[in-house]
Amino acid sequence: MKRHLLEAADLDRDDATLVLDTAAQIDAALAGREVKKLPTLRGRTVVNLFYEDSTRTRISFELAAKRLSADVINFSAKGSSVSKGESLKDTALTLEAMGSDAIVVRHSASGAPHRLANWVQGSVVNAGDGTHEHPTQALLDAYTIRRRLGRLDGVRVVVVGDVLHSRVARSNVWLLTTLGAQVTLVAPPTLLPVGVGSWPVEVSYDLDAVLPKADAVMMLRVQAERMNASFFPSAREYSRRYGLDAVRMAALSDDAIVMHPGPMNRGMEIAADVADSVRSTIVEQVGNGVSVRMAVLYLLLGGNA
């Protein structure tokens, strides 16, 4: 593993597999235990530096670090020196001067974790940067697929929704294809980036045409406000053409699973009965997120002094 986890595109097959295998071992080691805590990162300090509100991702990283006995500091940009105009660099150097060993960063600007990595000595973990990447989400998605379906090689994954603005979609495209899965992106053409043709994926505008062949369907969150910028005419039309409801779910093969990175817009991209069905891995994904993030923190921080 490298010193930082900045993007899924950085991970080769061996690295990615190591993370998933480590997460599986951690899961097994902690299964059924009363004491869900390991001493591995005792004395290490992990800073959650969150420039965007994301309670679920922050909690997941916090839990992962705490289960490895690291000290965790949550630094939210709101109400801090950042809101008084402190630069990202000054904030990072301040945190490091206080002894942080790793910075987990969530930021609205694509590439912010890459900038941080140039400025600090410790490890940087990208917890979502702008519309670029969210590598631990992709790792937990890959982990979830592997647990449910037993493999990733040759698995057909359909990613549906706002690919243009989705860091989750980007990370999944790179990670899943690295791990041998076949990815199909489905979206209205307005929500696919110009340049998507160079990605190692198939692209379709027709959800109904691809569902019968899917092993996993990953629904992306779609913000209703996008219709104000004419990405689609109305929430209703979007939902009709690209939403996953019970009728569409019936077209899936028996073993196919339905995924969502959360938070969901029930009734928009996913119907409530689909989200709560036995195919849905949505709750499982949340739990797997902690294990995968423990694996990442262990692999990045465990070895280097």
Partner 1 sequence: MAGSPEPPAGRASTPGVLLAPADVARVVDRMAHQLIEKAGESLADLVLVGIPTRGAPLARRLAARVAAFSGTAVDTGTVDITLYRDDLRLRGVRALEDTVLPDAGIDGRLVVLVDDVLFSGRSVRAALDALRDLGRPRAVQLAVLVDRGHRELPIRADYVGKNVPTSRAQKVRVHLAETDGTDEVVVVEQ
Partner 2 sequence: MTTLIKGARVLGGEPADLLLKDGRVAAVGGRLSVPGATVVDADGLVALPGLVDLHTHLREPGREDAETVETGSRAAALGGFTAVHAMANTDPVADTAGVVEQVWRLGQEAGLVDVVPVGAVTVGLRGERLAELGAMADSAARVRVFSDDGHCVADPALMRRALEYVKAFDGVVAQHAEEPRLTVGAQMNEGDRSARLGLTGWPAAAEEAVIARDVLLAQHVGARLHVCHVSTAGSVELLRWAKSRGVQVTAEVTPHHLLLTEACAESYDPVFKVNPPLRTDEDVHALRAGLADGTIDAVATDHAPHAVEDKESEWAQARPGMLGLEQALSVVLEALVEPGLLDWAGVADRMSVRPAAIGRLDGHGRPLAPGEPANLLLLDPAARATVDPAALASRSRNSPYAGRELPGRVVATFLRGEATVLDGKAVK
The answer to whether residue 78 forms part of the interface with partner 2 (CB under 8 A) is no
From candidates 48, 60, 131, 178, binder to partner 2 by CB under 8 A:
131
The answer to whether residue 129 forms part of the interface with partner 2 (CB under 8 A) is yes
The interface region with partner 2, picked from 33-41, 137-145, 180-188, 190-198 by CB under 8 A, is 190-198
Q: Is 146 annotated as contributing to ligand binding?
A: no
Q: How far is CA 197 from the centre of its chain?
A: 23
In sequence order, which ranges of the chain are alpha helices (DSSP H)?
13-30, 55-67, 88-97, 112-119, 135-149, 167-178, 207-210, 235-242, 246-249, 272-275, 282-301
107 is catalytic: no
Q: Are 175 and 139 in contact (CB under 8 A)?
A: yes
Give, to the nearest 10 degrees, the angle between helix 167-178 and helix 135-149.
50
Name the nearest CA neighbour of 136 among 46, 19, 44. Answer: 19
> Which residues, 62 to 121, sit near partner 1 by CB under 8 A?
68
Q: Which position among 4, 67, 106, 226 bears the catalytic label? A: 106
Max Cα-Cα span within the chain = 56
Name the nearest CA neighbour of 182 among 161, 206, 200. Answer: 200
Which DSSP state fits 136? H
The interface region with partner 1, picked from 37-45, 91-99, 156-164, 190-198 by CB under 8 A, is 37-45
260 is catalytic: no
Name the nearest CA neighbour of 62 among 104, 96, 26, 93. Answer: 104
The answer to whether residue 170 forms part of the interface with partner 2 (CB under 8 A) is yes
The answer to whether residue 3 forms part of the interface with partner 2 (CB under 8 A) is no
Residue 305 interacting entry, from partner 1, partner 2, none, C-beta within 5 to 8 Å by type? partner 1
- Report the residue number, 9 or 30, with the smaller CB distance to partner 2: 9
106 is catalytic: yes
Contact set with partner 1 (CB under 8 A): 1, 18, 21-22, 25-26, 28-29, 33, 35, 37-40, 68, 298-299, 302-305
Would you name the residues annotated as active-site residues? 56-57, 84, 106, 134
